[in-house]
């Protein structure tokens, strides 16, 4: 794969531009409640995040945490647990530097299952200014688990699918992206990502 014909590059946030803060936070919550990571991820990621519609912007954050409390059968206020997640989401300096460099030649965007947390993070780290296009689940009413979410970038920008490259850390997401005609690079490490763009002459 190369960048021939690519006009826009869209990046995932957690796991690419920043560490996978959600999973790290879930691990800490699992330890707090003496559960396995998979058990807590099923509750916080799927049943509360996807199930309530919070990830897609269809439910409040209070609803999200209350649902987790109910599923854990606890009266404890879990809102403070949000910091276990947000504290792990600091943008990677090397990736932001890459984005700034690529923006001189390409339209740069975000393609992420993120919530209102993204804007809190931006208030702290000031990184959204580098992205001229944003496809965020919390704003679009869909997530990466919905086929329609993958059509949004080319339908909103008017670009052809093959003119868009997604950088994401999940092979499943990359596979769906390619089925929609877009290009995809699977992020594994910062080093391999930087090398990919360097090799392709950027």
> What tens digit of pLDDT does each residue of 159-198 get?
999 999 999 999 999 999 999 999 999 999 999 999 999 9
Domain boundary among 32, 64, 86: 86
Q: Are residues 25 and 101 in the same domain?
A: no
Q: Are residues 158 and 188 in the same domain?
A: yes
Q: Are residues 145 and 116 in the same domain?
A: yes
The dihedrals phi and psi of 72, each to the nearest 5 degrees, come to -90, -5
Q: Are residues 14 and 41 in the same domain?
A: no
- Give the dihedral sign, CA 50/55/56/62: positive
Please provide the average confidence, as pLDDT, over all residues in the chain. 95
Q: Are residues 140 and 191 in the same domain?
A: yes
* pLDDT score recorded for residue 146: 95
User: In total, how many domains does the chain have?
Assistant: 2
Is there a contact between 159 and 8 (Cβ–Cβ < 8 Å)?
A: yes
Q: Which residues are CB-neighbours of 182 under 8 A, at least 6 positions away?
A: 150, 153, 154, 161, 162, 164, 165, 166
Classify residue 1: in a domain, yes or no.
no
Domain boundary among 37, 71, 86: 86
pLDDT tens digits for 7-48?
A: 999 999 999 999 988 999 999 999 999 999 999 999 999 999
Q: Are residues 75 and 98 in the same domain?
A: no
* pLDDT score recorded for residue 20: 87
Q: Which of 92, 79, 128 is nearest to 14 (CA)?
A: 92
Encoding tokens for residue 49?
């995040």
SS3 91: coil
* pLDDT score recorded for residue 4: 87
Per-residue pLDDT at 72 exceeds 80: yes
Q: Which domain holds residue 40?
A: 21-86
* pLDDT score recorded for residue 201: 60
Classify residue 135: in a domain, yes or no.
yes
């Amino acid at each position: 794969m190369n960048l021939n014909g690519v006009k826009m590059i869209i990046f995932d946030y957690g796991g690419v531009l920043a560490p996978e803060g959600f999973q790290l936070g879930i691990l800490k919550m699992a330890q707090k409640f003496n559960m396995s990571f998979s058990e807590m991820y099923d509750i916080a990621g799927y049943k509360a995040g996807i199930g309530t519609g919070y990830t897609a912007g269809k439910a409040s954050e209070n609803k999200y945490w209350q649902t987790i409390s109910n599923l854990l059968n606890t009266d404890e206020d879990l809102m403070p647990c949000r910091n276990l997640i947000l504290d792990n989401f600091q943008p990677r300096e090397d990736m932001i530097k890459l984005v700034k460099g690529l923006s001189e030649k390409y339209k740069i965007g975000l393609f992420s299952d993120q919530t209102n947390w993204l804007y809190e993070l931006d208030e702290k780290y000031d990184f959204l200014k580098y992205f001229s296009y944003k496809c965020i689940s919390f704003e679009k009413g869909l997530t990466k688990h919905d086929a329609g979410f993958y059509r949004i970038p080319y339908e909103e920008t008017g670009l052809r699918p093959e003119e868009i490259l997604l950088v994401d850390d999940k092979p499943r997401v990359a596979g769906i992206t390619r089925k929609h005609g877009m290009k995809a690079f699977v992020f594994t490490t910062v080093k391999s990502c930087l090398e990919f763009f360097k090799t392709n002459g950027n």
